[in-house]
Amino acid sequence: MFSKTVLVVLGLAASVLAAPQPIQVEVAAPDALNATLSAQAADYQNHWGTGTVYDQQGGYGSCGQMHSDWDMIVAMTFAYQGHSWPPAMCGRQVVITNTGNGNKITATVADTCPGCRTADSIDLSRGAWNALTNGAAPGVINIQWYML
């Protein structure tokens, strides 16, 4: 009887010791994680979208800096920038080609474009727009782009 009691007590002790213990895991906020994944995906592929022009109006971009209309800067969509601070793509270089005329530029991401038509569309400063369109009136152009 004593040996059975010892076996039962040992069995219970083993099951308590083997029971799963809670662990703490830190998980990035979904928006920050999605923006990071989108930023990483942008590095490895070409994207096609539309390009539009926007004015700086003397204000700060979502990346926290002021720029002139003639700086070679762009605004990316929330799909790449995310909704956290700082936006995921700030300061990154993007190579953009106007697919209509072949003009190509390298610009810096300095803002977020909440009104862009698609996730792969980009808002261009006047300087970037003029370089891509040979100074055409503001409108919409088809673009191809990738991150450096």
pLDDT tens digits for 11-37?
555 554 555 555 554 444 554 445 445
Confidence grade of residue 40 (pLDDT, cut at 50, 70, 90) = low
Domain boundaries, given as residue ranges, for the chain: 29-147
**Residue pair 72/103 in contact by the 8 Å Cβ criterion:** no
CA dihedral 40, 46, 48, 50 (to 10 degrees): 70
Q: Average model confidence (pLDDT) for the chain? A: 82
**Residue pair 75/112 in contact by the 8 Å Cβ criterion:** yes
In 26-120, at which residue ranges do the beta strands (DSSP E only) sit?
47-53, 73-76, 93-98, 104-112
Given the candidates 3.40.50.720, 2.40.40.10, 3.40.50.620, 2.130.10.10, the CATH classification of the domain at 29-147 is 2.40.40.10
- As a whole number of angstroms, the distance between CA 57 and CA 3 comes to 86
If we measure between CA atoms, which residue out of 76, 45, 75 comes closest to residue 147?
45
Q: What are phi and psi of 119, to 5 degrees?
A: -60, -30
Which pLDDT value is given to residue 28?
A: 47
Q: What are phi and psi of 61, to 5 degrees?
A: -80, 170
